[in-house]
Amino acid sequence: MVDLKGQYEQIKDQVDSSISEVINSTAFINGPEVHAFQKELEDYLDVKHVIPCANGTDALQIAMMGLGLEPGDEVITADFTFAATVEVIALLRLTPVLVDVDPDSFNIDPEAIKKAITPKTKAIVPVHLFGQTANMDQIMSIAKEHNLFVIEDNAQGIGANYKFDNGKVTKTGAIGHVASTSFFPSKNLGCYGDGGAIFTNDDDLAHTIRGIVNHGMYKRYHHDVVGVNSRLDSIQATILRAKLPNLDHYNNARRAAARKYSNAFAGIEHIITPRVEGNHCNTDHNTICDTCDCHVFHQYTLRITNDKRDDLVQHLNDNGIPCGVYYPIPLHSQKAYQDDRYNEADFPITNQLINEVISLPMHTELDDEQIDFITKTVIDFVNK
């Protein structure tokens, strides 16, 4: 699904020398590399505060802790996403409220958010799923109307641009009150282990979060808030520093691969290609143009509409082509998160997508020969 070795070969000398420098310095935790990466990512995102941490799940949890949410507060998020998004809500004894998604973008449906708001609602967590920006115009408007926090889950969307209706362009992760991301190795900006970060433009919130990630300390052995131990180590930071200047190139390479995939699948019955939902793309939504920077294609996800998705998975595996089903079970049906409040009739899109979606290999090193082989294998099967 990803070619981390091929990507590494392009930056090998810089990565190897930087890791060696960290080892020689022995500044493994909160060393200069961490602080340098923090500043460089702040500049890239045009956000006031980046607080690195140990992983993306911690980043989500710490963001919620920083907002002072209390047990029983309701947090609305998408039913069609990875479990980490709802996992941290439950861990903090908050109440997850799962809602359906849009069939084209796979992102949380703003109309479903509106219907789910109650007096106990305190926050919305939009996920920029598969690298596609959520509808932040509507989400921020809903949040403002109801005095809610917006926590962006940007684990799959780093580097994407969102153009507001008023023409302003902002990087995802710099839009909501606070945001989280993951630097898991397969992410668009990934390290060689676990890593994550929290973003915010709120000075007071950033101060609180900086204490939380370090055992609640601002001064050594003075614990002012309840915290956790969640820090990005220096070796991972130096790898991320090597990759960050290439992030736009990486995302452009993913978009180029996605464009080739979609062109090959155009007009093929039973295949629905990803749509680009950004309002600053001047082409048809089913066409990925050179200016589509609102989708960074963390995954390239098709919908197979002839009830043969699982057979296609087996066919691809038989032909040595990796693929993934993200996600085969909706969160509202997971044993850990089942709740009598949920009605199957409230999740028609999610319940459809789990039977149709399939993600094809997507990474910065995909070449034309690989894409031709993958698309031909898919088309030959679908046309049987």
pTM: 0.95
- Of 274, 236, 289, 249, nearest to 358 (Cα)? 274
Q: Identify the segments of the chain with pLDDT beneath 50.
A: 280, 282-283
- Report the distance separating Cα 309 and Cα 362, nearest Å: 18
Give the number of other Cβ atoms within 10 Å of residue 260's Cβ: 20
Alpha-carbon torsion (137, 142, 148, 153), positive or negative = negative
CB-facing half-sphere around the CA of 89: CA atoms within 13 A: 27
Contact (Cβ atoms closer than 8 angstroms) between residue 224 and residue 216: yes
Q: What are phi and psi of 302, to 5 degrees?
A: -90, 160
Write the single-letter amino acid at 293: D
Q: Which residues contact 185 (CB under 8 A, 6 or more apart)?
A: 2, 4, 191, 192, 193
CA distances from 354 to 107, 158, 332, 359 (A): 14, 24, 12, 12
pLDDT of residue 276: 87
pLDDT per position as a tens digit, 325-350: 999 999 999 999 999 999 999 999 99
pLDDT of residue 294: 87
pLDDT of residue 255: 95
pLDDT of residue 54: 98
Give the number of other Cβ atoms within 10 Å of residue 344's Cβ: 11
- Report the distance separating Cα 180 and Cα 212, nearest Å: 14
Q: Where are the alpha helices (DSSP H) in 29-157?
A: 32-45, 56-66, 84-91, 110-116, 136-146
- Report the distance separating Cα 287 and Cα 304, nearest Å: 18
Q: What are phi and psi of 186, to 5 degrees?
A: -85, -5
pLDDT of residue 287: 59
Alpha-carbon torsion (243, 247, 252, 255), positive or negative = positive
pLDDT of residue 277: 76
pLDDT of residue 279: 53
